[in-house]
């Protein structure tokens, strides 16, 4: 089963293309994304991990570490990374994040990452396209799960990270299709008497047929 929101991601030791890691030691007190892909040397995975590499400066700007995972071995990762570097144009030897080698499927099983409907040539399930956004407290803040057949949108992953980091600092929530810089919503738990003190940029109440003043917007802090 996948890890639940709010659950601490268990520590583990694993081999990567960059050598062995201890996950919690690698993570430190940073935000991170741990994301799995079905297989090295496959077309959709190449577009995904190449796109993630291209966006690495955006993740770094947000203080977010990146680490990928599949059931291939470390030598396969090292060879495939040459294709990824060529695809995304980051330059040889400059691939920006490690890829975990989970060839015995230990972590894929532990973290609920297998897609039972997609099998390899040996009849073994492939890794699904899972994303865990992990907070500095090592807890799962967001889980996104795609089947092996559908590529992810890494711009959306950046968007949810922006939301998570904003609401971690301020008592606001983000509405549908929110992007950084848009108005945010005042939580319904905040009393009307506290609005002026807590939201100095002002609060706009959206009129609704019910007459209930629960949809309250404020500029992003």
Contacts of 141 (CB under 8 A, 6+ apart): 5, 133, 134, 135, 164
Could you tell me if residue 148 is inside a domain? yes
Same domain assignment for residues 148 and 174:
no
Same domain assignment for residues 31 and 127:
yes
Same domain assignment for residues 22 and 109:
yes
Same domain assignment for residues 129 and 32:
yes
For residue 194, indicate whether it is catalytic: no
Same domain assignment for residues 147 and 110:
yes
Same domain assignment for residues 139 and 175:
no
pLDDT tens, residue by residue, 96-130: 999 999 999 999 999 999 888 777 777 778 889 99
Q: Which of 45, 71, 115, 162 is catalytic?
A: 45
Could you tell me if residue 117 is inside a domain? yes
What single DSSP character describes residue 8?
A: B
Instruction: Say yes or no to pLDDT of 4 above 80.
Output: yes
For residue 72, indicate whether it is catalytic: no
pLDDT tens, residue by residue, 167-213: 999 999 999 999 999 999 999 999 999 999 999 999 999 999 999 99
Same domain assignment for residues 194 and 140:
no
HEC secondary structure over 135-185: CCCCEEEEEEEECCCCCCCHHHHHHHHHHHHHHHHCCCECCCCCCCCCCEE
What is the span of the domain harbouring residue 126?
Answer: 13-152
- The CA angle 127-117-85, to the nearest 5 degrees, is 35
Q: Which of 137, 155, 182, 194 is catalytic?
A: 137
Same domain assignment for residues 185 and 215:
yes
Helices (H) and strands (E) in the chain, counts: 7, 12
- What is the spatial distance between Cα 119 and Cα 127, in angstroms, rounded to a whole number? 9
In the numeric block, the tokens 């089947």 are attached to: 147
The CATH number given to whatever domain includes residue 140 is 3.40.30.10
Could you tell me if residue 1 is inside a domain? no
pLDDT at 176 (0 to 100):
98
Could you tell me if residue 163 is inside a domain? no
């Amino acid at each position: 089963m996948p890890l639940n929101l709010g659950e601490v991601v268990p520590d583990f030791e694993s081999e990567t293309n960059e050598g062995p890691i201890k996950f919690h030691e690698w993570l430190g007190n940073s935000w991170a994304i741990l994301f799995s892909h079905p297989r090295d040397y496959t077309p959709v995975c190449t577009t995904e991990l190449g796109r993630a590499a291209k966006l690495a400066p955006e993740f770094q700007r947000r203080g977010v570490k990146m680490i990928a995972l599949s059931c291939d071995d470390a030598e396969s990762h090292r060879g495939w990374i040459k294709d990824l570097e060529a695809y995304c144009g980051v330059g040889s030897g400059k691939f920006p994040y490690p890829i975990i080698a989970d060839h015995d499927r230990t972590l894929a099983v532990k973290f609920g990452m297998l897609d039972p409907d997609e099998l390899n040539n040996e009849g073994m399930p492939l890794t699904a396209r899972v994303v865990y956004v992990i907070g500095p407290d090592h807890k799962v803040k967001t889980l996104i799960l795609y089947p092996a057949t559908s590529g992810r949108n890494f711009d959306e992953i950046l968007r949810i990270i922006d939301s998570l980091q904003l609401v971690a600092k301020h008592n606001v929530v983000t509405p549908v299709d929110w992007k950084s810089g848009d108005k945010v919503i005042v939580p319904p738990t905040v009393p009307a008497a506290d609005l002026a003190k807590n939201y100095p940029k002002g609060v706009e109440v959206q009129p609704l047929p019910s007459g209930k003043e629960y949809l309250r917007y404020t500029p992003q802090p």
